[in-house]
Structure 1
Amino acid sequence: MSTPFLSIRDLRVHFGTEDGVVKAVDGLSFDLEKGRTLGIVGESGSGKSVTNLAVLGLHDPRNTKLDGEILLDGKELITASEREMEQLRGNKMSMIFQDALASLSPYHTIGAQIGETYRKHTGASKRVARARAIEMLRRVGIPQPDMRVDDYPHQFSGGMRQRAMIAMALVCDPELLIADEPTTALDVTVQAQIMDLLKDLQQEFGTAIIFITHDLGVIADIADDVLVMYGGRCVEKGTKQEVLRTPEHPYTLGLLGSMPSLDGPVDVPLSPIPGAPPSLLNPPSGCRFHPRCTFAEKVPGDLCSTEQPALKLTDGRGSACHLTPEQKRELFADYATARTN
């Protein structure tokens, strides 16, 4: 079996605050191969973005404690120096942030910002870097790139700024691309264009992509594999088809139930998940989802509230839930029937 390009084992990211320790990520493991897209989905505060900031080494070491293992192409990142991480960021791994306008400098042209990234990692001249910036803007679909390269971010539309961010992220041909909800602020037409662009560029470069989102519709479009996070932990993993068609965790089922169905009756009401996400300062004991779980009462005794369920995987597929496979088939089938009848 080949070694995964990115391998994370028992990752824990804890922040020290005046109120106590925030367990933002609390024992997360997954692998990612080159050329595949992993969709990480969950509500705000589930640990999605914190996980990937840890991969990039963009946490504050003064109040952040990292434990576990992050291996990128065999190199351990948690113990890497800041100098080593600077060499990796933008070169071997890169990130597209959610808000392109906030991420781009308003005082420098688009071309200068893309070119600076290229120069930092390759030592290229300004002339060569400018030519590379024009090439990347053309590749991401910016019209008249030789002219727009000298524009400032405020002269680009939202969709064009996002394309420019993608051009900057890919200018050094990184092998790992992390996209943190890059289409959230865009209309659906531009969103679809950005998704198609990422898929085309992945096919061209063979990049491994982590796509962070709260939108399962986006996951259905772009991901190969899905990791569902809740309260800083992984509650379900599998291929896109497995997770979206046959969910194994009540939280995943709840996420699907809160989305409109395109192939079911139009008058079926949405079923929002009751309650609120847990406090990561003082998370619930046992299964962190049990205070909001519709099915917790089906488990004998107080198991859901007292014992943390293990993430049981078979060939990369599984969930962390105390319900038996037989209970899931019966209860989840009834839920799906109620949604479609």
Structure 2
Amino acid sequence: MTTLTKESGAPTSADAGAFLSVRDLRVQFRTEDGIVKAVDGLSFDLERGRTLGIVGESGSGKSVTNLTILGLHNPQFATIDGEIVLDGQELITARERELEKLRGNKMAMIFQDPLTALSPYYTVGRQLSEPFMKHKGASKKEARDRAIEMLTKVGIPQPKVRFDDYPHQFSGGMRQRAMIAMALMCDPDLLIADEPTTALDVTVQAQILDLLKDLQQEFGSAIVFITHDLGVISKMADDLLVMYAGRAVERGSVKEVLGAPRHPYTWGLLSSMPRLNSDIHQALTPIPGSPPSLLNPPSGCPFHPRCAFRSEVPGTLCTDSRPPLGEGRAAACHLTAEQKQSIFIDKIQPRLR
């Protein structure tokens, strides 16, 4: 079982009203080079029927967070601290047998790469049917009927025929649809979508996103949607969490964060996006430098080595003090509210037009 450092009997701080509540989550991995702090004090809530988007560069802790929710880390290498409460049930301290009852049933995940997530040795139909028989006690015929129903819902042509096909007989878009069908077989209350449209062409991507929204309306699932694409997030999510170096640096509704961002890292992400109405010769504005090493993260604000506005904060506050992320609409930055507004209006907003 995953190593825990939470004190026995410590009171829970999870929001009792939230369907999924994550509090002060810390995930560390033991490596030959040292301890990797993959997630470092992350907190968020998610309500039923809503979608939380999580964005950030590779290595920011997005996928690690969601694999932790599902309990999929190797306990030999992972140390986990904090609280994850799903519909009143604590997951970090849950036994593997309890998690097995939840995975694929109450919570499910659409993995980033269906080619590795689907076994090449079994038919697509069998891989869809087995979790339904295990969790719902269904017969083989009932599971087959349910799988064909779900393949139909996700737009697989000739589902009765394709039920007996192997993954290599599906196109990339069809495999992704089959992964969605598998995740939704048992009507999960929580659906985690980890870059579900990666490597798909834009037409198929749009179809997949519309499909997820339609199915969410039908089943009322809460969705955690992980992506690098802010354009996709603007279409899919209700709320947005921006992660950097294993921490949340900005949080709010999608309209608030994308319409009036408050953190220099979010400004950088938005400024580096190409725009359809921009001059084709106009250079993008990338974020300087590289993400920090999680083996030896910088002191103070983790973004300060790459931040163009740290000189506007007096003294050594950025380098010495970690800015807190408050409740509700918040950004973990030492700039004052007036400075954030002024910088955004004068320097950032013109780039985004």
Equivalent in the alignment of 1:185: 199
Equivalent in the alignment of 2:110: 96
Equivalent in the alignment of 2:316: 302
Identical-pair percentage: 71
Equivalent in the alignment of 1:325: 337
CA deviation string 1:110-146 (max 9, x = no partner) = 1110001111111212111111110110011111111
CA deviation string 1:24-64 (max 9, x = no partner) = 00000000000000000000000000000000000111121
- Tell me how far 1:215 sits from its aligned partner: 1.0
Equivalent in the alignment of 2:164: 150
Quote the Cα distance in structure 1 between the aligned partners of 2:350 and 2:336: 21
Quote the Cα distance in structure 2 between the aligned partners of 1:179 and 1:107: 24
Aligned ranges for residues 55-204 of structure 1 at < 5 Å? Answer: 55-204=69-218
Quote the Cα distance in structure 1 between the aligned partners of 2:239 and 2:278: 25
Quote the Cα distance in structure 2 between the aligned partners of 1:24 and 1:130: 40
SS at 2:80's partner residue? strand
1:13 and 2:27 correspond: yes
1:339 and 2:351 correspond: yes
* TM-score with structure 2 setting the length: 0.94
Give the direction of change, closer, same or farther, for the CA distance of 1:269–1:119 in structure 2 (3 Å limit): same
**Contact in 2 for aligned 1:119/1:129 (Cα 8 Å):** yes
- Tell me how far 1:338 sits from its aligned partner: 4.0
- Tell me how far 1:261 sits from its aligned partner: 2.5
CA deviation string 1:255-296 (max 9, x = no partner) = 000001245555542100000001000000000000000101
- Tell me how far 1:243 sits from its aligned partner: 0.5
Aligned residue pairs, count: 339
Quote the Cα distance in structure 2 between the aligned partners of 1:20 and 1:200: 45
Equivalent in the alignment of 2:12: none
Quote the Cα distance in structure 2 between the aligned partners of 1:338 and 1:53: 38
- Tell me how far 1:169 sits from its aligned partner: 0.3
**Contact in 2 for aligned 1:264/1:339 (Cα 8 Å):** no
Quote the Cα distance in structure 1 between the aligned partners of 2:290 and 2:204: 31
Quote the Cα distance in structure 2 between the aligned partners of 1:247 and 1:267: 26
User: Tell me, which stretches of 5 or more residues in structure 1 are unaligned?
Assistant: none
Give the direction of change, closer, same or farther, for the CA distance of 1:60–1:2 in structure 2 (3 Å limit): closer
**Contact in 1 for aligned 2:30/2:78 (Cα 8 Å):** yes
**Contact in 1 for aligned 2:26/2:80 (Cα 8 Å):** yes
User: Tell me, which stretches of 5 or more residues in structure 2 are unaligned?
Assistant: 1-14
Which amino acid letter does the alignment assign opposite residue 77 of structure 1?
L
Quote the Cα distance in structure 2 between the aligned partners of 1:238 and 1:182: 23
Give the direction of change, closer, same or farther, for the CA distance of 1:340–1:26 in structure 2 (3 Å limit): closer
| The 10-residue stretch of structure 1 (15-24 or 164-173) with the greater mean CA deviation from structure 2 | 15-24
Which amino acid letter does the alignment assign opposite residue 324 of structure 1?
T
CA deviation string 1:81-133 (max 9, x = no partner) = 00000000000000000111111011111111000111111121211111111
Quote the Cα distance in structure 1 between the aligned partners of 2:219 and 2:199: 26
- Tell me how far 1:205 sits from its aligned partner: 0.2
Quote the Cα distance in structure 2 between the aligned partners of 1:321 and 1:333: 17
Quote the Cα distance in structure 2 between the aligned partners of 1:293 and 1:312: 20
**Contact in 1 for aligned 2:111/2:117 (Cα 8 Å):** yes
Equivalent in the alignment of 1:275: 289
Quote the Cα distance in structure 2 between the aligned partners of 1:155 and 1:250: 46
Equivalent in the alignment of 1:215: 229
**Contact in 1 for aligned 2:270/2:352 (Cα 8 Å):** no
* TM-score with structure 1 setting the length: 0.97
**Contact in 2 for aligned 1:96/1:180 (Cα 8 Å):** yes
Give the direction of change, closer, same or farther, for the CA distance of 1:69–1:337 in structure 2 (3 Å limit): closer
Equivalent in the alignment of 2:54: 40
**Contact in 2 for aligned 1:275/1:292 (Cα 8 Å):** yes
Quote the Cα distance in structure 2 between the aligned partners of 1:29 and 1:91: 24
Quote the Cα distance in structure 2 between the aligned partners of 1:71 and 1:8: 6
Q: Please, what is the CA RMSD of the aligned residues?
A: 1.3
Runs of 4+ in structure 1 off by over 4 angstroms are 263-267
- Tell me how far 1:340 sits from its aligned partner: 5.3
**Contact in 2 for aligned 1:109/1:149 (Cα 8 Å):** yes
**Contact in 1 for aligned 2:52/2:223 (Cα 8 Å):** yes
SS at 1:234's partner residue? strand
**Contact in 2 for aligned 1:226/1:238 (Cα 8 Å):** yes
SS at 2:22's partner residue? strand
